[in-house]
Amino acid sequence: MLPPAAMEFLEQHFNVEVNPEDRPLTREEILEKVKGRDAVLTQLVDKVDAELLDAAKGVKIIANYAVGYDNIDVDAATQRGVMISNTPDVLTDATAELAWALLFAAARRIVEADKYFRAGKYKSWSPMLLLGQGVSGKTLGVIGAGRIGTAFAVKAKGFNMRILYADEKPNPRFEEQTGGQYVDKETLLRESDFVSIHCPLLPSTRHLIGDKEFDLMKKTAVLINTARGPIVDEKALVRALKEGKIFAAGLDVYENEPAAEPELYEMDNVVLLPHIGSATTKSREDMGILAASNILDAYEGRVPRTLVNREVLNKLGK
């Protein structure tokens, strides 16, 4: 279900059929349901490939209810003259804030401490109880200097942190807003106390962090991933956490969502969240309204506000 404001917007303009289940449609169900539609509003769990686009023959737009669109074969859509849109900006701060929540939770062992207290284990204050890593004045490594990476790094100023960032190329806007310094990935991993991932999932970023990278990191480092699970080799992460190659991790995304590597469930030095980066009432509502207005734009002949594949416009003669 979408937030009510987005549903109302859609229903004002279209005949809408909604997945009534609180689960993704099966492949068979989705291939059947997309037939004959003018538009399809997808979620990040819905795989949009050539087969689905062919089943949805005649569809004008696939409006993804997410900023990331690694679930969509954009080239296949462009070839078929189908517009693809996403939901950037409206979830930037929500996701950056969640990355900070994870960072603090992992660094200061918040979830572990909460469990400890609830289990009745807290008998007396102790100088050595649940020691974690401090944040102020430390070095923050940001992988991916786009909108969310920038919003995340801007918030580090309040903690007086040194900011390093890595990306395909330097980003002057990031540097201007955060004072961050562009370095290669290896330098970032070696020098950072906290490493937070904010790049998209692309063939070039799959397993960007694996055994080799964990070997470079500080034993006191904390890794945060709110971007996409497959950017981190999850088996290598298990090894790194077990062998003390890093101090802790905070994850909102997984290689094989909704599951995580079985050993992670048992570990205290990792905080595991169910992909809630953009899950504030306002962001989820704004994402729905943006996706819906992209559909309306496409339907009424305008260029959707957050069209991903602008090259499709040539194909459509616009």
Residues at the site binding ligand DGY, with contacts judged by CB under 6 A: 44, 66-68, 91, 277-278
Whether 118 sits among the annotated catalytic residues: the reply is no
Closest CB 197 distance from ligand DGY, rounded Å: 12
Q: Residue 204 burial by CB count (10 A; 0-12/13-18/19+): exposed, middle or buried?
A: exposed
Whether 310 sits among the annotated catalytic residues: the reply is no
Closest CB 87 distance from ligand DGY, rounded Å: 6
Bridge partners (DSSP) listed for residue 165? 142, 182
Of the two residues 103 and 273, which places its CB atom closer to ligand DGY in the complex? 273
Whether 257 sits among the annotated catalytic residues: the reply is yes
Of the two residues 277 and 304, which places its CB atom closer to ligand DGY in the complex? 277
Of the two residues 66 and 221, which places its CB atom closer to ligand DGY in the complex? 66
Of the two residues 18 and 45, which places its CB atom closer to ligand DGY in the complex? 45
* 294 contacts 302 by C-beta, under 8 angstroms: no
Query: Of the listed 37, 108, 198, 275, which one is catalytic?
Result: 275
CA 30/CA 19 separation, integer angstroms: 9
**Among 44, 91, 50, 35, CA closest to 64:** 44
Query: Of the listed 109, 198, 228, 284, which one is catalytic?
Result: 228
Q: Which residues are catalytic?
A: 228, 257, 275
